[in-house]
Amino acid sequence: MRTTVVCLCETRNVILAVSKKFPIGLGKLIITGSGGLNFEEKRDIIVYDNCHVILVQTSSSTYRPHDTMEIRVVVTNENLIPIEYGELIVEIYDAVFKLVGEFPNVPIHSGLTKVLRYPLAEHVNVGTWLVSATIGNTTSSIEVIVSCPLIPSFDVNAIFQRFLLRIDETLRGVIKINDDHNEPIFGRAIIAIGELTEQDIKSKMKMGLKEVKPKIEEWCK
């Protein structure tokens, strides 16, 4: 139990330390407030052991309907040594905390799972989704954003060589333009090429990002 005094228009963080002898399993956190307004709030909590360290990874932090979410989990022991063999459960919850995807008995080899693929449907609850992994009494999760843009947009991906020689007279590369559904579309991209030195960068910072006049070359797709 811990008591914290909060003044008007003030926010404070409260840290509760759980002892090693604290029972593992379902518990309840009770928050009681007094002063100008008296209230009591109860929240269900789950206490886990610290036998494993879990890191949940996704292929992106944002997704759209029809996208495929790729998931991989890294598992170590409390000393951060990879788990050689084991199994875990991966669960996916949507924006209203509804279980929409589950991968039971996912094998672990040398601290890693295989890449799991979850295809998103056309009609989903947009918002913040939760991807969690559980092994034994340990659970870890990561949040991703699922959104559906109201205004049509596109993604541009330009792939060019990073270094140019002074004798080079041409610049070769690839430009990809996709719509919201990752389908190729026709469009036009303008590529600006110009000299940029360290002194130019310092001048930009001092003069409010002064534009450097580049040589402009149009690429049509």
Ranges of each domain in the chain: 52-146, 155-220
Which residues pair with residue 89 across a beta bridge?
134
- Is a pLDDT exceeding 90 seen at residue 188? no
The residue that leads in pLDDT, 47 or 123, is 123
Give me 12's structure tokens: 């404070």
Whether 92 and 119 have beta carbons less than 8 Å apart is answered as: no
Which residues make Cβ contacts (< 8 Å) with residue 221, sequence separation at least 6? 175, 177, 186, 187, 188, 189
Roughly how many angstroms between the first and final C-alpha of the chain, as a whole number? 66
The residue that leads in pLDDT, 152 or 177, is 177
Cα–Cα distance for residue pair 69/133, rounded to 1 Å? 15
Q: Give CB contacts under 8 A, 24+ apart, made by 37-41.
A: none
Rounded average pLDDT over 65-93: 91
Give me 124's structure tokens: 């989903």
Q: Give CB contacts under 8 A, 24+ apart, made by 74-78.
A: 74/111, 74/112, 75/108, 75/111, 75/112, 75/113, 75/133, 75/135, 76/52, 76/111, 77/51, 77/52, 77/53, 78/50, 78/51, 78/52, 78/53
pLDDT at 215: 45
Q: What angle do CA 171, 175, 176 make, to 5 degrees?
A: 170
Rounded average pLDDT over 83-99: 92
* Overall pTM surpassing 0.85 (yes/no): no
pLDDT at 221: 44
The residue that leads in pLDDT, 74 or 51, is 74
The residue that leads in pLDDT, 122 or 215, is 122
Query: How far apart, in Å, are the Cα atoms of 122 and each of 64, 109, 158?
Result: 9, 34, 28
Find which of 73-77, 163-167, 202-206 is predicted with most confidence, using mean pLDDT: 73-77
Report helix, strand or coil for 129.
strand
Rounded average pLDDT over 96-115: 93
Question: In CATH, what is the architecture of 52-146?
Answer: Sandwich (2.60)
Whether 188 and 218 have beta carbons less than 8 Å apart is answered as: yes
